Structure 1
Amino acid sequence: RQILLNLVSNAVKFTPQGGSIRLETFMEPDQRMAFRVSDTGVGMAKKDIPVALEPFRQIGKDSNIYTTEGTGLGLPLTRALARMHSATLVIESEPGQGTTITIRMPHARVLKQVERLAG
């Protein structure tokens, strides 16, 4: 849940008014459960993605690309949480076009969670 909250929060922060945010869930052909958050926000260059995944780092902090405040912990925390669940995190982004982040969880991990919730 926290992973999705972080991703949606980032999408809201970096998508200007009139933009769009999309949340998708689906099963991959290999039976992994996938969650995808896409936005039409400011996006980032491919070279900046590793920087965005470092704690306390923010892309474009010295420029006027971003107008939001934050600690720079959202994506690093999301990646750490994904790893704790044996999930993968893939970021695709283009400046001025937006960002798509996909989390893929192993089928067994999702099934365990469903069984736990079912009681």
Structure 2
Amino acid sequence: MVTSILTNLFDNAVKYTGQNGVIKLAALKTKEDILIFKITNTYRELDAQELKKMFEPFQRIENNENPGSGLGLTIVKKQLAQCNGNISAENSPGGLEFEVQFLDQRLP
């Protein structure tokens, strides 16, 4: 399941990063044993409404010409819930940043 989650997020990062754009991955483990992955891609700043709806089914960014159904991030969120994790997205100085937290080290 972890592979599916990260593959989906990387696939989105590749699709939504323009030519000569940058995709960054950071991974860390906190002292509370929370495993965190941050995936950032150079994408335009999203407004608050776009960020809020991002994980809802069939939501797609306006004027998006990339193929897809708008279900990928919904599936990722459900998969993370099954393994005691969560995901969030926010604008950052480097672009759009997704933070994935695995709260239980016994990953599926």
Q: Could you say what the CA RMSD is over the residues aligned between the two structures, in angstroms? A: 1.7
Quote the residue 2:100 is aligned against.
103
Change (3 A) 1:43 1:72: farther
Quote the residue 1:117 is aligned against.
none
Greater gyration radius: 1
SS at match of 1:22: strand
Structure 1 residue 7 displacement after superposition? 0.6
Structure 1 residue 43 displacement after superposition? 4.2
Q: 1:89-116: CA deviations, max 9, x gaps?
A: 121126xx62111111124324xx5xxx
Alignment of 1:41-52 (within 5 A): 41-52=43-54
Instruction: Judge conservation of contact 2:84–2:104 (CA < 8 Å) in 1.
Output: no
Structure 1 residue 46 displacement after superposition? 2.1
For structure 2, the residue ranges without an aligned partner over 5 or more in a row are none
Quote the residue 1:39 is aligned against.
41
Instruction: Judge conservation of contact 2:24–2:39 (CA < 8 Å) in 1.
Output: yes
Q: 1:67-97: CA deviations, max 9, x gaps?
A: 3121001110111111111002121126xx6
Change (3 A) 1:78 1:43: farther
The structure richer in helix per residue is 1
1:82 counterpart = 2:84 = no
TM-score (norm 2): 0.85
Counterpart-to-counterpart distance in 2, 1:46 and 1:40? 18
Structure 1 residue 56 displacement after superposition? 1.2
For structure 1, the residue ranges without an aligned partner over 5 or more in a row are 114-119
Instruction: Judge conservation of contact 1:23–1:35 (CA < 8 Å) in 2.
Output: yes
Quote the residue 1:24 is aligned against.
26
- 4+ long deviations beyond 3 Å: none
SS at match of 1:108: coil
